A and B are shown apart, each in its own frame.
Chain A
Amino acid sequence: MKKWPLITTIANDVNNSKTTAVELVEESLRLIDQNQEYGAIISVLKDKALERAKFIDSEIKSGKNMGRLAGVPFIAKDNILTIGSETTAASNILKGFIAPYQSTAIEKLESEGAICVAKANLDAFGHGGSTENSDFMVTKNPYDKTRVAGGSSGGSAASVVLGLAPFALGTDTGGSIRQPASFTGCIGLKPSYGLVSRSGVIAMASSTDVVGPLTANVSDCALVLDVIAGKDPLDSTTIDRQSGSYEDIDDNIKGRKIGLIKEYLSDSLDEEIKQAINKTTLKLKSAGAEIIEVSIPSLDYALAVYYILCSAELSSNLSRYDGQRFGYSDKTAVNLSESYFKSRAKGFGTEAKRRIMIGTYVLSSGYYDAYYRKAQLVRTKIIQDFHEVFKQVDFLIGPVTPTTAFKIGEKSDPLSMYLSDIMTVGVSLAGIPAISIPMERENGLPIGLQLMTKQRKDKELLGLARKVEELI
């Protein structure tokens, strides 16, 4: 597991010609090659990355500053479009699809000199919490190859922990950045909904999808967020940045009120996670924070609401994969209708089909009010409850998952898999920012602590994260 210097240091060294982008990219490519057994990477952008690295080096040689991420290799989840390269969302239906445009997030990273070296594995279209639903391979946990790396951004999380690159991009719809970060022991930030553009990001559930960084430390996380955050004319749901830089964070927590969510500390929570949280809580207390136990009763419904809304939106978002304009198209079909049915039947995996079916059902005439609309109403209740609790506290903390990384193949029925999202989906429904940060552990598997705060207070959240990082 390679440990990279701080991203700022790397970029400075590149800009000052102490190292070269080509060396960094070659190092990254070597590590990717050496760690294939983990199944973290779907495709490597070797030629493009080296070409870009050479260009950056030559610009620097001619006296230019190539930006805050100059020459820094990174890995993008393969549901984020990279122009001119294959982007598959880990689904057979997109195998061979070459992206004809660039996602905004990648565009922004490249404009600061970063270099995308590879595309990371995921549960196909983001449907899952273990990366076992990838149509191509399972990503293994760097700490225990018999266990999952989490998901759906499992490839991104494993890449960062293995040190394949200094940082990775993931997407989080119901916990897909936080949960794998927790399972693998890296930092995973789900920014406020709308803070990072979704343009060029393959949609799962449009109203909760968000792009975020996975990094080895909070400083890197803040830097990457600072580069990718902000309004995008290509995404109508993007929101304004907070003023100033996201790197400019205040980690003073004296007198800050931190709410410990009661509902997340139930009996079903693993004992070791409970203990890790208690330990961290004590440390926060001794650092001057006030810890208050709070209750958000409607969170008990969050998972049900999430699975209805998410399935509804994704069933709609997956309608465009029909075999007519891109991706897999069944050649045995004899007529148009067959072409649709067969392309979708063979292109989508079972999990995508299952979710499309649920989503189609909850939107269908006669069931819309009972499921879809009802879920949106309960969502309002959840948001109101978050709103209420943030009148009492500045932050919320809790576990990310009820258990540590489970065994590959352990969760065979879909509902038990869905239940592992139970502590992350509430945040997604409310659109508030949350981060998973590794806690101290003794010879066991990584355990993440989830920190949450009000919508559009991502900078404050990073402040608390840095404090936690320092205390642990």
Chain B
Amino acid sequence: MEKLSKYLYKGYLPTIGIECHVQLKTETKLFSGIDNDARDAKPNTLVSHICFGLPGSLPVLNEKAISLAVKAAFALNVRPQIDSHFDRKHYFYPDLPKGYQITQFEAPIILGGNVKIKLSDSVKDIGITRAHLEEDAGKSTHKEGKDYSLVDLNRAGTPLLEIVSEPDMHSSEEAKAYAHELYLLMKYADVSDANLFYGNMRFDVNVSVSKDQNKLGTRSETKNLNSFRSVEKAVDYEIKRQVDLLEKGGQIIQETRGWNDAKQKTFSQRSKEEAHDYRYFPEPDIPPTKLDNNFINSIEATMPVMPEEWRNILKPLNLDPSSEDLLIDAEVEDANINYLPVIEKFIDSKEALKKVTNWLINIEIPLRRDNPEVKALSTKERVDYYQKIYDLNETGSLNSNRAKDLIEDILKSDAPITDIEKYASDKGYIQVSDESEITEIVRQVLADNEKATNDLKNGETKVIGFLIGQIMKQSQGKANPAIAQKIINQLIKL
């Protein structure tokens, strides 16, 4: 049993469940062959008679939505349901053209599953109740001071997967971690673009508080949160609001609330009494879905390495948690750039792996975040580059600072750098290890710095640092300092 006492706020146990709408990464809408990417489209340009709900129009299910839902099932750690079907959910609203939404009510494609969330001091499983496919509604705008609203149906019919969690969370930290982990899962499984800015993932949080840990309190549902931070803040706000209200002798009503990001407050939208009777019934226009086990298995076989597995792979490196998170997050920031497969390539040599991981975390990832225009590299290109840089560094001809310069050059260069060694040498990044060349410089420096040379001869070894510095300066940084030191020792005969 989980220790619940740590979650108590003024003696109340908060309980949180989250519903998340994930926009699926398809070319076309859920039920019509119309472009699904409404981001830069003019209003009502991406619409068909089906999106408009015209008389006589019929939905035809997009197979990609089914295969993405199957992927999502595996990402949620469960096999999809063999049998599922769509239902109609009825309510009237101008952004809902047919007067009903096609969704899965009775037999969703996903039942069960779990998400492992990472907390500051532990890992916790959050149960998944169900996940179902449904169509999105249109978008409406309400201009200030006008007595009308405008409806754009470009988004109507976009495929969504609504993922419903169990009420397994008890703090805003857990809620935020769950939302973030869900984001990673959908990204890694390539189920969604999961772009929160464009509303590709929208969270509804159900929060209740109770003094009796065996009984749930009345819950509020705060809808349409579109950032991890707003999930965290809305949960915090609701816990506090509800506890304060109860402490003052008030009562929580079951209601839908919205989130005002500017004020960092939730506000009441409508109460349960006004809730609709949705009159669900099975959609007669779409035959049921019956998944074939071979089909399910073939999708399972293509599942990529998921964040949890990556964390296990990274474990032996003992990265600090923030570096690990950085890597796991960075992996899915751009579909064309993959860091983790690079790490996998170096997995057999712990030394190399440590260095390369370090370069990724401290050089390449920050550089890419600051310079989005930096071009992508394939995994093979990246592995080859890092292998060569590692080898140069290992043999001593490239010091760590120069390695950093070299990595930055490679990333920023317009044309690909094919011969790394020649490039580094032309750029003067390669350290001089030729003893006769260095001996020449050492002689010169010793002659130019008579006092220091004498001090050294008298046993004042602390001036060595100064002399090496002069040698590096003379050689424009190219001299290998270890070799320079050796030559000083030889010449002074220490």
Contacts and interface: CB of A to CB of B under 8 A. Distances in A.
Of the listed residues A325, A364, A365, A368, the one surrounded by the most CB atoms of chain B closer than 10 A to its CB is A325
A254 B285 CA distance: 40
Given A81-B55, A100-B54, A199-B56, A320 B287 contact: no
Interface stretch (B88-96, B242-250, B394-402, B468-476): B88-96
Interface string B122-155: 0000000000000000000000000001010000
B98 interface: yes
B56 A363 contact: no
B56 A325 contact: no
Most buried by A among B53, B57, B58: B58
B60 A320 contact: no
Given A101-B49, A236-B287, A360 B279 contact: yes
Nearest to B61: A236
Interface of B, helix, strand, loop or mixed by DSSP = loop
B284 A206 contact: yes
Contact of A202 (B55, B60, B88): B55
Q: Is the interface of A mostly helix, strand, loop or mixed?
A: loop
Given A198-B58, A202-B55, A320-B55, A325 B277 contact: no
B279 A234 contact: no
B55 A364 contact: no
B52 interface: yes
Given A236-B285, A236-B287, A319 B54 contact: no
A89 interface: yes
B287 A364 contact: no
A368 to B, nearest CB: 7
A233 B58 CA distance: 10
Contact of B286 (A89, A205, A236, A316): A236
B199 interface: no
Contact of A320 (B59, B98, B149, B280): B98
6 contacts: A201-B56, A236-B59, A320-B98, A336-B149, A340-B92, A368-B279
Contacts of A365: 277, 279
A111 to B, nearest CB: 18
A307 interface: no
Interface in B59-104: 59-61, 88, 90, 92, 94, 97-100
A206 B282 CA distance: 11
B58 A320 contact: no
A206 B92 contact: no
A200 interface: yes
Nearest to B92: A340
Interface of B: 49, 52-61, 88, 90, 92, 94, 97-100, 149, 151, 277, 279-281, 284-287
Nearest to A363: B279
A190 B286 CA distance: 21
A132 B88 CA distance: 31
B90 A202 contact: no
A45 to B, nearest CB: 17
Contacts of A80: 56
A313 B149 CA distance: 30
Interface string A311-331: 011011001111011100000
Given A316-B281, A363-B281, A233 B60 contact: yes
A234 B58 CA distance: 7
Contacts of A89: 55
A206 B57 CA distance: 11
A319 B100 contact: yes
Nearest to A101: B49
Given A316-B88, A316-B100, A103 B56 contact: yes
